[in-house]
Amino acid sequence: MSKSKVPVIDAIHVTKLFPVMKGIIEGLFKRSEQQYVHAVDDITFTIQEGETFGLVGESGCGKSTTGMLLLQLLNRTSGTILYKGIDVASSFTWPGYISRILNAHFFMPIGYGLSYIFRSKESRELFTEVMNEAIKEARIYKENLNDKEVLDRIKNLRKEIQVIFQNPYDSLSPRFNVMDIVAEPLRLLKVYPSEAEVEARVLHELDSVGLVPPEDFINRFPHELSGGQRQRVGVARAFTVDPKFIVADEPVSMLDVSVRVGILRTMNQLSKERGTAFLFITHDLALARVMCDQIAVMYLGRIVERGPTEEILHNPLHPYTKALIAAVPKPDPDAHRTEDLPIIGEVPSGIDIAPGCRFNPRCIYAIEECSQIDPQLETVKKGYYVACIRYKEINKIKN
């Protein structure tokens, strides 16, 4: 695992809210504020080149959403995602430009006209200022829109970020054969000018994920493959375009234990060979330990603890991480669980989030303050962060 310090992904205060849909009747008769699901709430992390970054947490904590955000398949609500230092998430689009133009040249003047009639001179001057700002913004936007580099970056983004899905039965189109599936990104992104090169690459890729001989596989359809073979096809597909970064969303959780190792080994090997960074999403701490250099533990859309894998798993500081680790069954029959799980109840809804620390309703260490102060990530040491106001007390850490 290369330890070069070039960040591939910088996620800074990324938030994703989903508006809660209301029924027509509720919307008509019940006056209430729009509620949101806090799927991802203000998370920050960095993934270095060639590094495998693990995202760990119970289902429903926002891991997969984070993955989708990084893949640009969902638009974030706020925050910044930098890919190699460039913000491609706020990609400049024509609709965005048009709405800005409309704002600057249509709605603002109307407001200005209205202010002329109803408001004072001062407000008019203020309005002129705001309007000028809007026009300036639109102009900048337009310049960026024509910026070749940004456009190219967005265009090439697809080539550099790929995904491996959880369910190999679902992620391969049932009407494509293996050749078509693996070649699809190549063809879509027009990586190679000729079809022969595409096919050669596909064969090579299949070979490198362990589907040998590849000629036997290219004409098969997904339903003719075993689960493990399918996931290998998925891996091959993700690696065909030589991405710099791959989101692996629970890639082996649906597979038999016996085939997991092989696939993980393949992934590891390929990422080492090609220097690909991974966002490895999993709920399985053991897997995270094997695969990841860094991990972040998520709870209800927040990162509660982040740091090097070994340190976190050996000596978790956050009560939630402790609970997660305690829940992992030990293969040793004599190792009896001496205490109950240090956690209360089930994962609550992401809509009505408790004030203060999100974990406090379930935390056995919770005190009064926990329901008042929303803890931010604190640096424990370099590269190790935790979000708990009592972590020192709990873990008996002295300053």
Partner 1 sequence: MFKSILCISGLTICGVTIMGLKSYIAKKLLFAAVAYFVAITLVFFLYHVLPGNPANVFALDPRVPPDVREALLIRWGLNEPLWKQYFIFLGNLLQGDLGYSFLHKKPVSEVIGVSIPWTLLLLGTSFILNAVIGILLGAIVAWRRGSKLDTGFVLTYNVYNALPLFFVGMLFIALFGFTARINNWPIWFPTYGAQTPGASETGFFSYLGDVLWHLFLPLLVLTISGVLGWSWFMRGNLISVLTEDYIKTARAKGLNENQVLFKHAFRNAILPVITNIGMSIGGLIGGAVLIETVFSYPGTGRMLYDALMRRDYPLVQGAFVIIAGLTLLGLLLAEIVYGFVDPRIRTE
Partner 2 sequence: MATIRRDNIRRKISKWGRTWKIYRRNWMGVTGLILLSTLVTLAILGPSITPYESHERSEDIFQPPGNGHLLGTNRFGEDVFTILLDSLRISLLVGVIAGSLTVIIGTTIGVTSAYIGGWGDTLIMRITDVILVLPALPLMLLLASLAPLLADVGDFLVPRWLIIAIVYVVVFWPVSARLIRGQALSLKQRAFITSAKSAGAKNGYIIRKHLLPNVFPLMLTMIITSMRQAILYEAFLSYLGLGDPWNWSLGMMLSVAQNQASLATGAWWMYFPPGIAIALTTLSFAFIGIAFDEIVNPRLRKR
Residues that bind partner 2 (CB under 8 A): 71, 73, 158-159, 161-163, 165-167, 170-175, 177, 179, 184-185, 188-189, 195-196, 199-200, 215, 218-219, 221, 234, 237, 241
Pick what 20 binds: partner 2, partner 1, none; C-beta below 5 to 8 Å, kind-dependent.
partner 1
Do 172 and 181 meet the contact criterion of CB atoms below 8 Å apart?
yes
Distance CA 192, CA 198 (A): 6
Task: Provide the minimum distance between the beta carbon of 189 and partner 2 in the complex, in angstroms, as a whole number.
Answer: 5
| Token code pair at residue 119 | 């408001």
Task: Provide the minimum distance between the beta carbon of 248 and partner 2 in the complex, in angstroms, as a whole number.
Answer: 12
Task: Provide the minimum distance between the beta carbon of 69 and partner 1 in the complex, in angstroms, as a whole number.
Answer: 12
Burial category of 271 from C-beta neighbours within 10 Å (exposed 0-12, middle 13-18, buried 19 and up): buried
- Tell me which residues touch partner 1 (CB under 8 A): 18-26, 37, 39, 59-60, 62, 64-65, 68, 165-167, 249, 349-351
Distance CA 313, CA 93 (A): 43
Q: Which is nearer to partner 2, 155 or 265 (CB)?
A: 155
* Beta-ladder partners of 294: 53, 308
Q: Which is nearer to partner 1, 20 or 328 (CB)?
A: 20
Pick what 196 binds: partner 2, partner 1, none; C-beta below 5 to 8 Å, kind-dependent.
partner 2
Q: Which is nearer to partner 1, 65 or 360 (CB)?
A: 65
C-alpha dist (Å) from residue 200 to 164, 209, 221 = 22, 14, 19
- Show Cβ contacts of residue 230 under 8 Å, excluding neighbours closer than 6 positions: 168, 169, 172, 222
Orientation of helix 121-145 relative to helix 94-102, angle to 10°:
160
Q: Which is nearer to partner 1, 20 or 188 (CB)?
A: 20
Pick what 172 binds: partner 2, partner 1, none; C-beta below 5 to 8 Å, kind-dependent.
partner 2
Task: Provide the minimum distance between the beta carbon of 187 and partner 2 in the complex, in angstroms, as a whole number.
Answer: 9
Task: Provide the minimum distance between the beta carbon of 289 and partner 1 in the complex, in angstroms, as a whole number.
Answer: 24
Pick what 254 binds: partner 2, partner 1, none; C-beta below 5 to 8 Å, kind-dependent.
none
Cβ density class 103-131: b for 16+ within 10 Å, e for less: bbeeebeeebeebeeeeeeeeeeebeeeb
Pick what 113 binds: partner 2, partner 1, none; C-beta below 5 to 8 Å, kind-dependent.
none
The torsion angles phi and psi of 381, rounded to 5 degrees, stand at -150, -175
Task: Provide the minimum distance between the beta carbon of 72 and partner 2 in the complex, in angstroms, as a whole number.
Answer: 8
Task: Provide the minimum distance between the beta carbon of 67 and partner 1 in the complex, in angstroms, as a whole number.
Answer: 8
Pick what 26 binds: partner 1, partner 2, none; C-beta below 5 to 8 Å, kind-dependent.
partner 1
Task: Provide the minimum distance between the beta carbon of 184 and partner 1 in the complex, in angstroms, as a whole number.
Answer: 18
Q: Which is nearer to partner 1, 254 or 259 (CB)?
A: 254
Pick what 162 binds: partner 2, partner 1, none; C-beta below 5 to 8 Å, kind-dependent.
partner 2
Q: Are strands 78-83 and 7-19 parallel, antiparallel or unpaired?
A: antiparallel
Do 265 and 238 meet the contact criterion of CB atoms below 8 Å apart?
no
- Show Cβ contacts of residue 374 under 8 Å, excluding neighbours closer than 6 positions: 355, 356, 357, 358
